[in-house]
Every structure is written in structure tokens, then in C-alpha cells.
Amino acid sequence: MSDAHAKPVRHKTPPIRRDWLAKTLAGTVLGATLALGVSGLYSHLHAGLALPTRGQLAMWMVPPIWLGALSGVYFFSSGLRAWLWLGAGNALVYGALLALPQTG
Amino acid sequence: MKADYIRIYKSVHTWTGLISGMALFIAFYAGALTVFKEPIVRWVSPPSQARLVPLADAQTLIQQALASRPDAAKSFVIHVRDDESVAQRMEWQIRDPQADDHDESATRRYGATLDAAGQAQFQELNPSILGEFIDVLHRVVGLPVDSDPNRWIMGVIAVLYTLALVSGVVVLLPSLVKDFFALRVGKNLKRMWLDAHNVVGIVSLPFHLVMALTAVVFAYHDQIYGLQDRLIHNGQWASAFQRPAAQSGAAPSRDPAHMLSPPALLDTAQAAAPGLRPTALEYQNVTGPRAVVRVWGKDPTAVAPRALGGFIALDPYSGKPLNTDYLPGRQDTPNLLISSFFALHMASFGGSAVQWMYFLLGMAGAWLFYTGNLLWIETRRRKQTRQNPLPPAQRLDTLLMAHATVGICLGCVCGISLTIVGGKWLHGIVQDMRNCHMLLYYAAFFGCIAWAFCRSPGRAAVHLLWAAALLTLCIPATTLLAWLIPSLGLWGHTSAATLGVDLTAFAGALCFSWMARATARRLARGPADSVWAGKDSSTY
């Protein structure tokens, strides 16, 4: 930009950290646990369905959630943020699982 | 910021695509052919030696056969259709209980027929494994056996494939409106290939997403079920599929002579499911208290729960329907949803129109991965300059990638055509057709790879494309020879399905020869500063 106009110095957004290993691991591991947790919530909330049907649906929803998390993980600005956000998501889901009344 | 995301996802797309691309080419080429597994098996099956027992006499056949082979009562099949792949009206299998679920080689098949005196005659059957072999190549990305470790390798490829799809879309999205349907043919080769890659990728994106996610499920479902059983189902999962145990004080053994006859059972099934076109009756435990017969069939107007179609389960003694959970068009919503995941992968809905659509989408997919590699190579090309008028040496990695892409992709094409043709020529000469199909395929596959690395990539591509064209042309040529020279001992079927195989192979051979000529033209007139132009004495 031109220097002639003395604009107030804007904080440039820091570049997105690549953190390939940290992000990929976060997506692979926490994405998988998140998907399993969500499938558990689904199963709890649809206890009326027969187990063979409910179990198959719960299995089928795991890969889309897992790989959705894995393929979105590179949007995080750093590996640490990826771990924190996905970790928080996991805590939320597993917290809900524990809070739900145990049935069956 | 936005540009940075695109740079990151471009790296993801490049590396996941590069690692998985050639394996996916094999999966898609073999998969497109697997859509027409049944016609291919019919094409290669020899004419049946024995006369098929008429369906009307099948009840006698069952009684006679079970009287001398009671072990077949656990499970046997009465074929309803009379096509080339059916060797005997009644058939059963004995499996090695130690073998892997997906391992078809551990199964021995037997058939039964009636002789002139009305006595049952038995025969071990060796149905062609050609269709199964191509299917296995498809399921485990070109590896020979569908085993657990091979499926996990396929699963890793499928995960990379999913990442490549999403990252490709992220990279393309900002310029989608500008680039979509723009095919800029011209001087800039990379631009043209990229436009073509993008158009095919975006148009078939839903198909690819379905394939990627279902492939991950097919690879890892056992592990996911195992984890969920502990986490969610409290260890109840395995028992959920068992039917309640029979009452104690075992019921007396039942006499199969009192079962309804197959034509009567078919009438019953037809009344309950008018759209079903029956293909086979699968009997289970007919002498026990829980005898059941599954009337398998297809219904082109409905979603089929399995690749083979669906079934209605009847009591073979009373004809009472026992289960319609797997009956096409009669499933409840949750079961229909589950069936649709299978059907969307296996093209088992919508009849032959959808099968052709999947065949073409599969071929387009194989082409997509091939062009991905071409783009990677083109991006890293070293160009001639005014200062440096001699064509520069190309990078070693792009050169190796060009050799490998040509050898692996065309090796798969040549190998499959050769193993299809060999299924007819070597029938009766070779005892072990399973190993024979494998040997033919891998001989051609590795031969092509070796050839590709010994020649310059461009020349190898021309040679191997001609080889693919010739080998594929041998498929209809074999049928033609069988008609013209009957003394050869070959056979040529005349049903529409098997003629379809011949015609499709002929069209395929024309396509390959057209590509061979186009590639040769490119070699003769194309720029010299490219991996495709190099002379055979390579630069490394």
C-alpha cells in the first residue's frame, strides 16, 4: 500500500500456521472420537429403534463426521487451536453422553 | 488470508491426490467393470454340459438330493433364471470355517441334477471366478486378495481420496463461477487439462463423495462396530442379529417332501411382492424347526438392499412371509436409508440405465485421477528459454511419476482385458483358473510397468495403449472366432447381455486405439521440453 497516506497501522492477521502434523493428528484422532461420541448420542436419543437398525445407522454416521473434521482441520489458524476446538467439541459430546440417563 | 487457505488446501490436494491417484485409477477402472460383473461372468462361462432340471421338477430334485446329501439341508439354492452362468438347477456351498469372511477361495461348490432314471447326480462345480477377481481388484485397489490388512490399505486410500475431494473443492470454490464450463483449449496445456479436470471433478462430485465415504465404511466397519459395541451398545451388538433360540425339547426333524414346491413358493412371493423379478430361492435349515426360504430377486423400480437385489423370506412349508426387511420397495424408512448407502455405491437401483451411468462415471473417475497426475507433472515442467534453446533435462521426480502413471494405469487396463480373454482360451487347459486369472493379470500389469520404465513415458504410453486396444479387441474377436471356427472348442453366447460385453469391449478397443494415435501425434509434434517428449535413452 502507498505510504503517502498515514493510515493507522492495522494489525495484519498473522499468517496461518501450517502445523501439518499437529493438525492432521487432531483431525484424525479427535475427529474419530468426536464421530464416535456423536454416534453414541444419536443411539441414546433413538433408543426406540431396533438395535440392528440403530446400530447400523450409528456406524454409517461415523466416517462422514470423522472425515468432515479431518478435512476441515486445516482451516484452523494453528495446530494448537485445532486441538483446543476439537477437544472442546469432544468434551461437550462426551459430557452430554455422561449426563444422559443411562438406559439399557 | 483467503489466498493462504487456498495455498494450504492446494498442498493437501496435491499430496493426497498424488499418493492415492494410481490406486484409485485401478479401483475405478475395475469398479466400472464390476457394475457389469454378471454379464462378464455369463460371457466367460462355458455352455452347461448337463441339462438343467426344469423348475417344475425342482421339488423332486431337492428331495432326491437331500436324501443322499443331508449336509446340504443347512443351506442350498435353486436357481430360477436359466442364463449362461447357471451350471445346475440346485447348488450348495461348503465353506472352510477358518477362512476370512470375504475369502471366496475357501468355498467349495456342488451342484445336483436328475439322471434319466430320476436319481440325483452330484458334481463339484467350478464356476468362473473372473467376475469375483475383477471385483476383488476393485475392492482392494489392485491387490490380489480381499483380506483384512488389504482392506485397511484400501481404507487409507479412501480417506486420502476424501481429503483430496474436499480440498479440491476448497481450492476451486473461489473461482468456480469463472472456471466452471470454461474449457480453454489452446497454447496453455496446463490450463486446458486443469479446466477439464475441474469440470469432470465438479460434475461428478456427488458420485465421488458417495464412493469415498462408503469405501471408508467398507474398509473399517468391523472396527467401528467393535468400538461402538463397547462404547454405546454395552456388548449387545453381536447378539442383536441372532434370532431367539428355538424352544427346548427340539422339534422333530421335518420332511422336505412336505415343503411347497418352488413354483408354488414363487407364486406366493409374487403375490406378496408383485414388482420382484425372482432370480433364486435360497433355502436354509429346511429339516429344522426354523426352516426359511429367501426368494431373491431384483426390482428395477426400487432400491435394492444388496448388490444381488433383495429378498422376501418365506416359511417353505406354509408359504407364510417371515421377513420383508430386505424386500426392495417394502423396507421401512431406517432400513431403506441403510440400503440406499449400499445401493448408491453398487448401482443396485434404477435398472440398467443407472448401471450405464455408473459405468461412465467410474471411467470418468479413472480419467480424473490420471489427469491429476498429468497436472502435477506439467506444473513442474522445465521449459526451453531464449537463452537456453536446448530442451532442459526434466526433474527426476516428474519423470518417474510419468513412467509410473503410464505403467500402472495402462498395466491395469491391459491386465484386465488379458485375464478376461484368458478365461475362455485357457478353460479346460488349466485346472486352477483362480491362479490362472491372477497370473495373467499380474504378468500383464508388471510387464507394462517394466516396459513403461524402460522407454520414455510418451513412447511407452503409445505402445501400451496399442497393447490395451489389441487385448481388448481380443474379447469380441474370441467370440467371433468361436462362431467361425467351431473346432477351436471355444464358445460364443448370443444373449443380449453377453453380446453387450463384446460390443462394449469393441468400443473400448476403438477408444484405446484413438488415444494411442492421439498420443503418437503428440509425440511427433509436441514441444520437446516435456517429460513426454524424451527419447528412450532417458536423461538419468
| Residue range A3-39, pLDDT digits in tens | 445 555 556 667 788 899 999 999 999 999 999 999 9
For B281-302, give one letter per residue: b (16+ CB within 10 A) or e: bbbbebeeeebbbbbbbbbbeb
Residue B2 has pLDDT above 70, yes or no: yes
Query: Phi/psi of residue B78, each to 5°?
Result: -110, 115
Q: Which of B293, B243, B303 is nearest to B269 (CA)?
A: B293
Chain B residue with CA closest to A52: the answer is B240
Residue A2 has pLDDT above 80, yes or no: no
Please judge whether B338 and A57 are an interchain contact, meaning their C-beta atoms are less than 8 angstroms apart: yes
Strand arrangement of the beta sheet that strand B310-314 belongs to: B120-125, B107-114, B90-95, B75-79, B277-284, B292-298, B310-314, B321-323
Q: Where are the alpha helices (DSSP H) in B426-495?
A: 433-454, 457-484
Q: Which of B140, B127, B103, B144 is nearest to B38 (CA)?
A: B127
Q: Which of A58, A67, A68, A52 is nearest to A38 (CA)?
A: A58
Q: Among A15, A39, A74, whose Cβ lies nearest the Cβ of B232?
A: A39
Whether A36 contacts chain B with CB within 8 A: yes
Q: How confident is the model at residue B385 (pLDDT cuts 50, 70, 90)?
A: confident
Burial of B213 (0-12, 13-18, 19+ CB in 10 A): buried
For residues B508-534, average pLDDT:
89
Note whether ipTM > 0.85 here.
Answer: yes
Q: What angle (nearest 5°) sits at the alpha carbon of residue B451, between those of residues B450 and B455?
A: 120
Share of chain B above pLDDT 70, in %: 95
Lowest mean per-residue pLDDT among B472-481, B495-504, B523-532: B523-532
Distance between CA A85 and CA B512 in Å, rounded?
51
Query: Phi/psi of residue B282, each to 5°?
Result: -110, 110
State the DSSP H helix or E strand holding residue B78, giving kind and residue range, or none if neither.
strand B75-79
Task: Provide the number of CB pairs (under 8 Å) joining chain A to chain B.
Answer: 84
Distance from CA of A22 to the nearest CA of B (A): 14
The amino acid present at B254, given as its one-letter code, is R
For residues B147-169, average pLDDT:
95
B29-76 pLDDT, tens digit each: 999 999 999 999 999 999 877 678 899 999 999 999 999 888 888 899
Identify the pLDDT of residue A1: 40
Residue B275: Cβ within 10 Å count: 15
Whether A53 contacts chain B with CB within 8 A: yes
Distance from CA of A52 to the nearest CA of B (A): 6
Q: How confident is the model at residue A103 (pLDDT cuts 50, 70, 90)?
A: low
Q: Is B9 left (phi over 0), alpha (psi -120 to 50) or beta?
A: alpha
| End-to-end CA separation in angstroms for chain B | 41
Q: Which of B325, B330, B331 is nearest to B313 (CA)?
A: B325
Cα-to-chain-centroid distance, residue B362:
10
Distance between CA B253 and CA A48 in Å, rounded?
37
Reduced 3-state DSSP string for B298-328: ECCCCECCECCEEEEEECCCCCCEEECCCCC
Residues 6+ apart with CB under 8 A from B343: B303, B304, B305, B349
Whether A52 contacts chain B with CB within 8 A: yes
Whether B335 contacts chain A with CB within 8 A: yes
- Looking only at the bridges linking them, the beta strands covering B107-114 and B120-125 are antiparallel
In DSSP terms, which residues pair with B77 in a beta bridge? B91, B282
Q: How confident is the model at residue B255 (pLDDT cuts 50, 70, 90)?
A: confident
Distance between CA A16 and CA A4 in Å, rounded?
29
Distance from CA of A23 to the nearest CA of B (A): 12
Whether B224 contacts chain A with CB within 8 A: yes
Cβ contacts (< 8 Å) between B166 and chain A: which residues?
67, 71-72
Please judge whether B221 and A74 are an interchain contact, meaning their C-beta atoms are less than 8 angstroms apart: no
**Mean pLDDT score of chain B, rounded to an integer?**
90
Query: What's the Cα-to-Cα distance from B377 to each of B72, B235, B454, rounded to whole Å?
Result: 58, 51, 19
For residues B221-231, average pLDDT:
94
Distance between CA B518 and CA A37 in Å, rounded?
53
Residue B325 has pLDDT above 70, yes or no: yes
Q: In the 8-state DSSP scheme, what is residue B175?
A: G
Distance between CA A17 and CA A15 in Å, rounded?
6
Residues 6+ apart with CB under 8 A from A7: A1
Query: Phi/psi of residue A10, each to 5°?
Result: -90, 145
Identify the pLDDT of residue A3: 46
Q: Among B8, B220, B334, whose Cβ lies nearest the Cβ of A18?
A: B8
The amino acid present at B71, given as its one-letter code, is D
Q: Among B5, B216, B232, whose Cβ lies nearest the Cβ of A43?
A: B232
Q: Among B1, B221, B240, whose Cβ lies nearest the Cβ of A51?
A: B240
Distance from CA of A43 to the nearest CA of B (A): 7
Q: Among B163, B213, B228, whose Cβ lies nearest the Cβ of A63?
A: B213
Q: Among A16, A53, A58, whose Cβ lies nearest the Cβ of B5?
A: A16
Please judge whether B228 and A63 are an interchain contact, meaning their C-beta atoms are less than 8 angstroms apart: no
Residues 6+ apart with CB under 8 A from B4: A15, A16
